[in-house]
Amino acid sequence: MVVNVKLVGLFQTGRFKQKDREYPAGIKVQDVINELKLPQQHFGIVLVNGVHADIDTVLTEGDHLVIMPIVDGG
Amino acid sequence: MKFQTTDPAANPTAILYKRCTIDLRSGDMSFADIPCRNLEDVLGGFGRSFQDLAEREIENAYCEENPLIVNTGLLTGSSVMTGMRTYFSGYSPIKGSKAGLPAAMWSTGSGRFGAKFKWTGLDELIFENRSEKPVYVVITETDAGPQVALKPAEHLFGLSTHDKIMALQKGYADAHFAVIGQAGENWQNNYMGAVALSTENQLKEHEDKSRFAGRGGMGSLMGYKNILALVAQSSDKFKPLSEAIKQVNLNVIKGGGSARIQPLSRGGGGGTWAAYDVLQEFHAVPVNNFRPQGNDIPEQLFRENVEKEYNIKSQACYRCGITCHNNISEKNADGSKGEFLAKFDYEPLNLFSTNIGIHDAGQAARLIQLGDNYGMDAISLGVTISYALSYNERHPEKTILNGATFGDYEKIRELIIQAGEGTLPEIGQGSMRLSQRLNETSYAYHVKGLEIAAYQPETNPGYIWAIAGGHMSMGTYGLLTREGKSDLESWVRGITEDKLHIVGFDMIGLCKFFDITKGIGTQMVVDCLKSELDLDVSTDDIRAAVRRAFLRGLALELRQGYTKAEFCLPAEVSENPNQNIKLPNITSREFIEKLEKRVWEIFEPELEGLFD
């Protein structure tokens, strides 16, 4: 199945900004994070089709997945 | 401080702090060792100063009875990473109720002044009355204990924050400085004066790299008292690092608390600037006075775009491994670093760029630098200007001030200069007063008279209960964007339990990046207190003390005349909801009414008897 993956901020470095990517059915957000080797300590926010989701969310064909680092002000 | 117990929660009176009280009118001063009333007193900062402020009934910030309290926290000057904080407290000229009474306020900053102050042997300095002539105050460590002297300061009058520090540095070796700029000197027309704190980098490189205690106009209060600068002169007194502190400091650097703040080159998130990318995903980066437009305009200030034209270098506070801030400088033709412009933190960056229609990083940096050198709070200044620009956009036929509009760099620069020099009270006295004068209050982005931080109020109804400004005294600013919480229960719990604990950092002397999500009621802090001071205190005791301190702040607001109706977000948020923000709506009237009911039901019973 195809999932549109968007990476935000530092996650783009050495990877990509936004891409359609092929994944096996039943894949979870955590699997995508592992596959892209995103640094765990920065992992912050996941949106699936514009709605906050967690790393155990199962993705389906055509989903739009956004993975963002954590945010803090100052 | 004198420690005659190892149990500060059970025996706070066996811990004494050294206070110097100065009568600026007569020049008289007295020193005393004061027993702590409770654990809040022991921890220090606003936990102590707000108890003293509560003992005074102040109707006008600019009156002789309003003290300026300068103090530190228990871990200021310790070997614990980020232990650099100084606190300035008093009744605020800018934050006040509609009844006309000033709110109690504190402001804090890093830099090395706090540690130097602590190492003189003094824990607290209280300024009473006001001096007839400008003075600066020298606090010196001697064999007989801390000494304090008042010195004539006419030669410093009219200098910028940086120039004052440079002038003082010539006369005082081994010292650090806390100074006001021209804004604080012009306190009558500028209520947003900040206190600039010198940094090691500033003194070595002679570049304007101060840190600021900006919020609430404590620099203006200092100006009213005719104090232009404080000098703390002492030898360094860092203890050798114990194994426990080494471990804590390592956790601070590598742990979840600060990893995202570290520079990109060290595998970090690149400082607070990184918030731009994340908030833009929700179209929640403030644009043109907090009205995001649902477009890609904010992306011009993404780091990746700024780096093409400017030199960016991460830098840390003294002995801190977090490296939280990014210095932006001109880029020479060969790519090397040119003239230093300013420090880019998320708040000033946004409020002097996208939120006033400026999309060039260099222009934003120069505006930040200008405001810093005049010594004004970046948040209050940026937001008051954005209000004026918004007014002019809505009334092209009858503009105010110099007619500046969004993006007009030269005219905005002019507004900052005039405000800093005290010739533009419309800006200098803040957005609440300006909007009331113009009878258009709905889009003035302040809460309880203090301008909000660069987080859309649509994402943070917690602003309503913040006791000392938006994001520093109520850590709910990420509850919707970061945690995705849009249900009532999560917000009630966030405001009344978890997120208020951010104020603990404004007691103990540490920066919030020490462990921003958990506060100070943690094993890490318990270990630090044991190792540095041989104090046995539990996380529960610390959390209880922080909660009492927060509630005192809330009770003080009510005592200073705030009605519950004044605990509110800017009206535009609910009157004209911004459909461009891609997040659930948690600021509808209905949601806010339910939230208010639940939060007050929890807080109100706890407020009773706090000042008995």
B484/A45 CB distance under 8 A:
yes
Where residue A14 falls among pLDDT bands split at 50, 70, 90? very high
What value does the mean pLDDT take over residues B173-190? 97
- Domains in chain B, CATH or no CATH each: 2-233 (3.60.9.10)
pLDDT exceeding 70 applies to what percent of chain B? 98
What part of A 54-73 touches B (C-beta under 8 Å)?
A: 66, 68-73
pLDDT digits (tens, 9 = 90+) for B21-49: 999 999 999 999 999 999 999 999 999 99
Nearby residues of A45 by Cβ (< 8 Å), 6 or more positions away: A52, A66, A67, A68, A69, A70, A71, B278, B481, B482, B484
Partner-chain contact A41 B260, CB within 8 Å: yes
pLDDT for B154: 98
Q: Which residue of A has its CA nearest to B263?
A: A10
Q: What is the rounded distance in angstroms from the CA atom of residue B226 to the CA atom of residue B135?
A: 6
For residue A42, the chain B residues in CB contact (below 8 A) are 259-260, 268-269
For the segment B158-185, the average pLDDT, to the nearest whole number, is 97
Report how far apart the first and last C-alpha atoms of chain A are (Å, whole number). Answer: 41
Q: Is B474 on the interface with A (CB under 8 A)?
A: no
- In terms of DSSP H, where are the helices of B317-439? 346-351, 361-374, 378-394, 409-420, 425-428, 431-438
Kindly report, residue by residue over B357-392, the tens digit of the pLDDT.
Answer: 999 999 999 999 999 999 999 999 999 999 999 999
Q: Longest C-alpha distance within chain A, in Å?
A: 41
Residue B516 scores a pLDDT above 90 = no
* pLDDT tens string B520-572: 999 999 999 999 999 999 999 999 999 999 999 999 999 999 999 999 999 99
d(CA B323, CA B344): 12
Q: What is the rounded CA–CA span in Å between residue B549 and residue B555?
A: 10
Query: Residue A13's closest chain B neighbor by CA?
Result: B264
- Contact list in B for residue A8 (CB cut-off 8 A) is 277-278, 281
- A72·B324 Cβ contact <8 A: no
Smallest CA–CA distance from A40 into chain B, residue: B256
Tokens of B222: 């200092």
Residue B471 scores a pLDDT above 90: no
| Mean pLDDT of the region B141-153 | 97
In the Cβ-directed half-sphere of B87, how many Cα atoms lie within 13 Å?
Answer: 33
Asked if the C-beta of B516 comes within 8 angstroms of chain A's C-beta atoms, the answer is yes
Query: Is the separation of the CB atoms in B492 and B598 below 8 Å?
Result: yes
Contact (CB, 8 A) for B192 and B174: no
And the tokens for B332? 């020479």
- In whole angstroms, give the CA distance from residue A3 to residue A73: 31
User: Do residues B64 and B24 touch, judged by C-beta distance below 8 A?
Assistant: no
How many DSSP H helices and E strands does chain A contain?
1, 5
Q: For CA atoms B198, B200, B204, B208, give the dihedral sign.
A: negative
- Nearest residue, CB atoms, B259 vs list A42, A47, A53: A42
The b/e string for B244-256 (b: 16+ C-beta within 10 A; e otherwise) is: ebeebbebbbeeb
β-strand pairing of B86-96 with B102-109 = antiparallel
Is 0.90 exceeded by the ipTM? yes
Q: How confident is the model at residue B461 (pLDDT cuts 50, 70, 90)?
A: very high
CB contact under 8 A, A69 and B274: yes
CB-CB under 8 Å, A13 with B277: no
Query: Is residue B320 predicted with pLDDT exceeding 90?
Result: no
| Inter-chain residue contact A10 with B274, CB threshold 8 Å | yes
**Total Cβ atoms within 10 A of residue B366:** 18
Q: How much is the mean pLDDT over chain B? A: 95
Cα distances (angstroms) measured from residue B431 to each of B90, B127, B190, B290, B298 = 21, 28, 12, 14, 24
What residues of A are in contact with residue B82 (Cβ under 8 Å)?
none
Region B182-195: mean pLDDT is 98
Are B281 and A73 within 8 A, CB to CB? no
Which range, of B4-18, B313-327, B337-351, B383-397, averages the lowest pLDDT? B313-327
Contact A41 B277 (CB under 8 A): no
Q: What is the pLDDT of residue B171?
A: 97
Q: List pLDDT tens digits, range B574-585.
A: 999 999 999 999
Sheet architecture: strand order including B135-140: B147-152, B135-140, B227-233, B175-179, B195-197, B211-213
In this predicted structure, the answer to whether residue B437 has a pLDDT above a threshold of 80 is: yes
pTM across the whole model: 0.97
> What SS3 state is found at B371?
helix
Residues 28-57 of B with CB under 8 A from A: none
pLDDT computed for residue B322 by the predictor:
83
What phi, psi does B82 have (nearest 5°)? Answer: 80, 5
At B134 the three-state DSSP class reads coil
SS3 B605: helix
CA distance A73 to chain B (A): 5
What is the tens place of the pLDDT at every residue in B385-433?
999 999 999 999 999 999 999 999 999 999 999 999 999 999 999 999 9
B454 touches chain A (CB under 8 A): yes
Determine contact: A13 vs chain B, CB below 8 A: yes
Neighbours of B523 (CB within 10 A): 12
What does each C-alpha distance from B387 to B401, B402, B436, B471 come to in angstroms? 12, 14, 12, 20
* Residue in chain B nearest A42 by alpha carbon: B260
How far does CA B542 lie from the centroid of its chain? 22
The per-residue pLDDT for A74 is: 59
Query: Quick one: angle between helices B409-420 and B378-394, nearest 10?
Result: 130
B612 has a pLDDT exceeding 70: no
Inter-chain CB proximity A74 and B454 less than 8 Å:
no
Locate the chain A residue with the closest alpha carbon to B272. A73
Q: C-alpha angle B566/B452/B87, rounded to 5°?
A: 100
CA distance B260 to chain A (A): 6
Domains (ranges, CATH) in chain A? 2-69 (3.10.20.30)
Q: How many CA atoms lie within 13 A of B217 on its CB side?
A: 33
A31-36 contact pairs (CB < 8 A, 24+): A32/A3, A32/A5, A32/A59, A32/A65, A32/A67, A33/A67, A36/A5, A36/A7, A36/A11, A36/A67
Residues B282-304 have pLDDT tens digits of 999 999 999 999 999 999 999 98
* CB of B373 closer than 8 Å to CB of B348: no
Q: Specify whether the backbone of B570 is left (phi greater than 0), alpha (psi in -120 to 50) or beta.
A: beta
Q: What DSSP character marks residue B465?
A: G
Q: What is the Cα–Cα distance from B111 to B86, expressed in whole angstroms?
A: 9
